[in-house]
Copies of this chain bind each other. A is one copy, B any other.
């Protein structure tokens, strides 16, 4: 069973926001709009979304930073996921 995002949607799995993660990302505690680190699980096909051609720039397996209050949470087979628009992703975290 899988989530297949539509259009410019992306399914991500949130990584735990601990003080110092293995990858070294720590979310700023007093930021008004908290950033979040997540791993990309599925990527929509892109195409014309709301009258605009969207090209998907992210790939499954990438770690990304996104804005917390964007996206919708879902649970699938006991795992929690977030469905975001690609434009809610701010940056890719590279090792």
The residues of A with any CB-CB pair to B shorter than 8 Å are 1-7, 9, 11, 20, 23-28, 31-33, 35, 42, 44, 47-53, 55, 57-58, 65, 67, 69, 72-78, 80, 83, 86-87, 89-95
Q: By the criterion CB–CB under 8 Å, are A90 and B4 in contact? A: no
Instruction: Compute how far the CA of A31 lies from the CA of B71 in the bound complex, rounded to whole angstroms.
Output: 10
Q: By the criterion CB–CB under 8 Å, are B51 and A11 in contact? A: no
The 8 Å CB contact of A9, one of B23, B31, B91, is B91
Copies of this chain present: 7
Q: By the criterion CB–CB under 8 Å, are B52 and A95 in contact? A: no
Instruction: Compute how far the CA of A69 lies from the CA of B31 in the bound complex, rounded to whole angstroms.
Output: 10
Q: By the criterion CB–CB under 8 Å, are B72 and A31 in contact? A: yes
